[in-house]
Amino acid sequence: MDIQKTRQKEFDVVSIGNSIVDILIYVDEDYLSKQSLNKGSMTLIDDSKANKLYSENIIEEETSGGSAANTSAGISQLGGIAGFIGRVKNDQAGKTFTKEITSIGVAFNTPPIEIGPSTAQCLIFITPDAQRTMCTSLGASVYLNPKDIDISMVTQTKILYLEGYLWDSDEAKKAFTSAAKKCRTAKGEIALSLSDSFCIKRHRDSFIKLIDEYVDIVFSNEEEIKSIAQTSSVEKAIKFISKKCKILVVTMGEKGSTIIHGDKIIKIESYKFGRTIDTTGAGDIYASGFLYGYTTGESLETCGRIGSICAGHIVTKLGPRSNISLTDLVKKNLH
Amino acid sequence: MDIQKTRQKEFDVVSIGNSIVDILIYVDEDYLSKQSLNKGSMTLIDDSKANKLYSENIIEEETSGGSAANTSAGISQLGGIAGFIGRVKNDQAGKTFTKEITSIGVAFNTPPIEIGPSTAQCLIFITPDAQRTMCTSLGASVYLNPKDIDISMVTQTKILYLEGYLWDSDEAKKAFTSAAKKCRTAKGEIALSLSDSFCIKRHRDSFIKLIDEYVDIVFSNEEEIKSIAQTSSVEKAIKFISKKCKILVVTMGEKGSTIIHGDKIIKIESYKFGRTIDTTGAGDIYASGFLYGYTTGESLETCGRIGSICAGHIVTKLGPRSNISLTDLVKKNLH
């Protein structure tokens, strides 16, 4: 085999999701009790509460986050061409999000809003025992609407990747389906991350309709797929959803992952590169690895293994961003 | 990796094309001159002429043929689930076609016509020097129309494979695009074989429109791609067409094949399993191998190699059908 370069579609993966700035803050146990926060939980907070918490703490690190944005970042770090569509406000956090994600090479040009709620923030309080307690303000990100969809991006990508988290907003939902239609007409494929079992419960029927009509590749974990199929059996849930899409990928943490494609069930083992410190972003970067392989014409088994390698690495470090060369990591561990 | 069985789409590949019965007849040189046939040529003849030639000769072998039908047969022989849509008449040749293709395991249930021209026949006169002189009567096969399209087949296949040869008939053209639309809506992918450089010249613009709007995978040889791109340079032709589809496959006989996918150009070598006797069906079975790999989640390189192995085998024997186990052949030569 001899590989040369040419170019067809402009992007490998364009994703649509919440534009969230992850804010890492080290605190002691007392701080959590003073704020009435249950350690290890995720609490939705409003804009003003987020701003208050932000201003009264010392910020350890700020990084662009959000599930789909993480996936686009991973694609770019693997050497693919990635784009992201999501709403920020023209504030400090919005600027941080934009600067960080574009510095990785992800194309991001959704115009920021000038008025309304602040850019979404996820304040992550890390206690000395390495546990994470999160307060999320979704802010501007849920105000994504069909007008925010950059047509040239969704028609010029091999894969359009949608994040289920946005499904709570009717306008964002319209933006999703409008983008999916345009992408499909331009012969792109649609991938969906189910994102969250609670979100699925609230919108089960419309999620199933979305998958049935538009989605080629579904990413899910065991909880999410059981939730959407309304069963306590992962096997039954897989049977139910795999009929509705081309490829179903179920990630199962240390148990690895399963890829269902037509009459094939491919089991992929997990990779372990050290002690698990923080599983945030593991599913997101698995999707990066899988889709990177998929858009470069690799076999589904190789796609799954690239995803698994990336996820195995990201859980050994804090936060959803890799600080090493993912390309080298994959090259070293794939064969 | 551990593979288990389940089932999603009913078919791997459903193809639409001319339903032709290939009729092999051994003749001497004198016979050709008596019939005023130029050795090595392909002559289109009418129905009554075909019937006359058929009745006055000793038939060596009859087999279902036609480009797309050959590809479906190859898919089935490789272990995939294949279907075929094409028009025959309820006559002896139509019965032969139906019996032979279904005996290989290809689902074929387009209702035969009761009146009108006979089932398409390709009389192949083989002279002692192993050359082939063909007389083709397209008969009933060009009367395919949108009503003949089995909706449950085109919506229940991973790949819908179209043969360019049918493009001469307006009704067949409508049947094509109607099937392609339905397949795409059901999230299937569309593949097209360009088939013939003369056919392309007659319908260049509408072929390009078809590719632009519907086709994901294009199969072509060097002559065909130069013809559709109106250039004498294969490289320029590849640049022109590869922008319009997901995957472009250019077969080049003994020089191997080239797969163009996004920014990748993958070169596949040809396989040689003996002396080349007859290249009929080589392109068709290359497509079988490629699509079999594609629908089972193999890498594009592996897809090309499976196609190349099948083509390398078929040219060492007479006719478009393999008489050995393609599965074993591929298994032995792939790694």
pLDDT value of residue B285: 96
What count of CB pairs under 8 Å joins A to B? 106
- Residue A48: inside a domain: no
- Residue A47: inside a domain: no
- Residue A166: inside a domain: yes
Among A13, A299, A335, pick the best mutation site for testing chain B contact (most B Cβ within 10 A). A299
Q: Which of A9, A263, A298 sits opposite B262 (nearest CB)?
A: A9
H helices of chain B, in order, are 29-34, 47-55, 67-77, 92-103, 151-155, 170-185, 197-202, 204-214, 222-229, 234-242, 282-295, 300-314, 326-334
- Residue A75: inside a domain: yes
- Residue B292: inside a domain: yes
Interchain pair B3, A262: CB under 8 A:
no
Q: What is the DSSP letter of A130?
A: S
Task: Report chain A residues touching chain B, CB-CB < 8 A.
Answer: 1-9, 12, 158, 184, 187, 216, 238-239, 242-243, 245-246, 259-268, 295-302
Collect all residues of chain B within an 8 Å Cβ-Cβ radius of residue A260. Answer: 6, 8
Here the CATH number for the domain that contains residue A157 is: 3.40.1190.20
The complex scores an ipTM of 0.75
Structure tokens at A50: 């987020």
Collect all residues of chain A within an 8 Å Cβ-Cβ radius of residue B296. Answer: 261-262, 264
At CA A52, angle to CA A51 and CA A56, rounded to 5? 115
Distance from CA of B213 to the nearest CA of A (A): 8
What digits encode the pLDDT tens for the residues A71-98?
999 999 999 999 999 999 999 889 999 9
What digits encode the pLDDT tens for the residues A139-198?
898 888 888 899 999 999 999 999 988 887 888 889 999 999 999 989 999 999 997 777
Report pTM: 0.83
- Residue A260: inside a domain: yes
- Residue A117: inside a domain: no
Distance from CA of B231 to the nearest CA of A (A): 19
- State the 10-residue block means of pLDDT for chain A, 335 residues long: 52 95 91 87 84 90 90 96 95 92 94 92 86 86 87 95 86 90 92 85 89 95 92 93 94 95 92 85 95 97 98 88 91 91
Backbone angles phi, psi at B215, to 5 degrees: -85, 130
Collect all residues of chain A within an 8 Å Cβ-Cβ radius of residue B7. Answer: 262-263
Looking from the CA of A190 toward its CB, the CA atoms found within 13 Å total 30
- Residue A32: inside a domain: no
At CA B68, angle to CA B62 and CA B73, rounded to 5? 60
Collect all residues of chain A within an 8 Å Cβ-Cβ radius of residue B246. Answer: 8, 158, 187
- For residue A228, the enclosing domain spans 11-19+67-111+142-334
Question: Strands B11-16 and B157-163: what pairing?
Answer: parallel
Q: How many domains does chain B have?
A: 1
